[in-house]
Structure 1
Amino acid sequence: MMQLIEDTNLEENELTQYIKTLKRKKHIIFQGSPGTGKTYLAKHIANHLTSSENNGFYELIQFHPSYSYEDFIQGIRPQTSTDGNLEYSMIPGRFLNFCEKAKDCEGMCILIIDEINRANLSQVFGELMYLLEYREEEIQLAGSDQTFKIPENVYIIGTMNTADRSIALVDHALRRRFAFIPIKPNYDILRKYHQKNSPNYDIESLINILIELNKTINDPHYEIGVSFFLTESLLDDLEDIWTMEIEPYLEEYFFDETDKIEQFRWKNI
């Protein structure tokens, strides 16, 4: 646990709660605004749990608008046979392959689904929606005679960017099957990181600007996270980060409030 605390700069009680929720519910989603470190946190928790347990592992996949049931569960795909002919076979997708691999393990096997809300989730999950709620049961998969059950040692961590408007597409059926954990901008992470890696940099001035900026944004779904600024070369890179990453984001958010954009231009802060 000490290594996880050091890697994430989070408090032990906070990390313990996240892990407790994952073990209880088996499926969790870290949700938060851009730059809050959702994927980073998911990877480090997964690594901690699978490396400290016997024979566990984790994998990461990223959803996108074109991601399908065939990609995730299974589907008929063309294949070339040994004699060169084209054949169509039922091919397992990433989740079935993951579960098959997990059957040979005793420890926790964690699938991280990055940007989970960017896909059409009802379509991608299919029958898995039922199995996520009734983990002890097995059902027949569409298009085949094969039955499937999620192994007991399989866990899912999703990440969701709340600034992405596709979050509205996450229906209540899926929400009931996941525990949603909000990840907010944590200025103490930024403070600890630079105290360790660049102690001569006055990080408090940047933190004060971010606090003021997020007050102006006034929407927890769109706040600016600290991950943008977790770099040892921040002194050299800050202007570039601000003008090329932060300002374009603010231009989109404050598209009809130019005075607020100007207030937080690099030249004005």
Structure 2
Amino acid sequence: MSEHYPAFQLRLPKGGPVAHGRLLADGASGIQKFVIRAGSPARSEVVPSFALGTNTYHRIRQQLIEDGTIQPSEQWPGWLEVSEDVECTSPSAAGSILTGSSVNGWEVWRTAGGRPLSDFMGQDLGTGSPAAALREAELPEPGQDLADELHVHDRAWLQEIRDLLCDEQQLVLYGPPGTGKTHLALKLAEFLSGGPERVKLVQFHPSYTYEDFFEGFRPQEDPDSREVAFRLTPGPLRELADLASREGNQHVPHFLVIDEMNRANLAKVFGELYFLLEYRDRSVRLTYSGDDFALPPNLFVIGTMNTADRSIALVDAAMRRRFAFVELSPRVEPTRGLLRRWLRAVGKDDEPADLLDALNARVDDSEFMFGPSYLMKKGVHREGGLERTWRTKILPLLEEHHYGEGVDVEARYGLETLRAAIRHRRGASTA
């Protein structure tokens, strides 16, 4: 029934040609897919940050180019062209693939008259009915493709994360540094929401406050009088909550990712929002604006906590009751075997994984074990890179950890020591 929606078009950058697409009827998950029409132009190059910021869309674009779905255009020399209809997970995915950059598809796709796609999201297939807004947000089921992309050992682990979010709406990933907590949180939020435009990232720190997080008075300059006055300004949570509550968005998941959550004074940052995290069907009177406010049911929260920075045991019972807690530790999967799976996926030798396992076996504090991210950077796999990383990143942290204990860190954790231990273990196992 997508013919009830108007046709949409997108002008490519730098006065380029116009691409055409159509919006599909909502799927069961509330994710609105978008189809790029055959014959649409695409940009021939990508912006430098595209592969980093929206890696999923970059990879899809590259695959479409490799299989010939996107190919050099005869109609527009210097541009590419889509040879057949391409179904995308969202308007933003479609726009990003065509432009080679991260875009908000709800704004860049427009009708011939210039109206953005977002103007039509309050309508149910053109009837004007609010039926779409009344549906509950449903999270899509993670597939094996996502498990392979994230190098997770078992798709069932991702399914459990998805089920926990469905039940609790708030979840914390906790573990030592380098275990991929933030990367995993962002990738899961992007997948479950249908696109990066529905995900907002904030990072807590010791001076972070309720006024930074939700709303407060901040100095702002009047553009006409140039006078500075304090005005009520929304923070990231208020902005995302308002977006999720907007007509047409109520059945679409939105995600707030809070990085380094336990570095802030959580009671001070959340204030009366503690209550709303547990009771999504109730409202409270806000401290500054005086508005009655409720957290929308389609807003999900994923936090990360670094156990080496501040123990998770210090998190108060009120916060613990409102979040599900999932451990990401080198002791357990999916973190335990992640580095080995990644090395094999990119065609590298297993030695870094063997060394990491040997290192963590000698660390006496589970909250201070080393995650795989330390050894997944490009520099590690250049000539001399592993030795340099060990000398400048891993050993200094261990020096700090054993400060005042008289431990010879090099003798206990150095590369040559660990390599000798690995050779000895292998020799013993074959004897």
Same fold, TM exceeding 0.5?
A: yes
How many residue pairs get matched?
Answer: 264
Q: Is the 8 A contact 1:243 1:266 kept in 2?
A: no
SS at match of 2:205: coil
In the alignment, which of 186, 205, 208 is matched to residue 64 of structure 1? 205
CA distance in 1, matches of 2:337, 2:362: 20
Q: 1:39-59 CA deviation, whole Å, 9 max, x = no partner?
A: 11111111111117xx97111
Greater shift in the superposed pair: 98-107 or 164-173: 164-173
Greater shift in the superposed pair: 187-196 or 175-184: 187-196
Greater RCO, CA 8 A, separation 6+: 1
SS at match of 2:303: strand
Q: Is the 8 A contact 1:198 1:232 kept in 2?
A: no
Q: Is the 8 A contact 1:36 1:226 kept in 2?
A: yes
Q: CA deviation at 1:149?
A: 0.6
Unaligned runs of 5+ in 2: 1-142, 419-431
TM-score normalised over the length of structure 2: 0.58
In the alignment, which of 102, 123, 143 is matched to residue 268 of structure 2? 123
Q: 1:29-70 CA deviation, whole Å, 9 max, x = no partner?
A: 000011111111111111111117xx9711111111111111
Q: CA deviation at 1:163?
A: 0.6
Q: CA deviation at 1:180?
A: 0.6
Corresponding residue of 2:178: 35
C-alpha distance 263-166 of structure 1, shift in aligned 2 (>3 A): closer
Give runs of aligned pairs for residues 185-224 of structure 1, distance below 5 A. 185=330, 186-199=335-348, 201=349, 203=350, 205-224=351-370
Greater shift in the superposed pair: 149-158 or 85-94: 85-94
Name the aligned partner's letter for residue 189 of structure 2. Answer: A
In the alignment, which of 376, 380, 392 is matched to residue 244 of structure 1? 392
CA distance in 2, matches of 1:232, 1:51: 29
Corresponding residue of 2:244: 102
* Structure index of larger Rg: 2
C-alpha distance 28-257 of structure 1, shift in aligned 2 (>3 A): farther
Q: 1:184-221 CA deviation, whole Å, 9 max, x = no partner?
A: 1224221121112134x2x1x33333223222212221
Greater shift in the superposed pair: 115-124 or 164-173: 164-173
C-alpha distance 267-12 of structure 1, shift in aligned 2 (>3 A): same
- Identity across the alignment (%): 36
CA distance in 2, matches of 1:47, 1:97: 18
CA distance in 1, matches of 2:219, 2:284: 25
Q: Is the 8 A contact 1:7 1:44 kept in 2?
A: no
Unaligned runs of 5+ in 1: none
SS at match of 2:337: helix
Corresponding residue of 1:225: 371
Q: CA deviation at 1:166?
A: 5.9
Q: 1:170-193 CA deviation, whole Å, 9 max, x = no partner?
A: 211111111110011224221121
Q: Is the 8 A contact 2:395 2:409 kept in 1?
A: no
Q: Is the 8 A contact 1:194 1:232 kept in 2?
A: no
RMSD: 1.9
1:83 aligns with 2:218: no
Q: CA deviation at 1:222?
A: 1.1
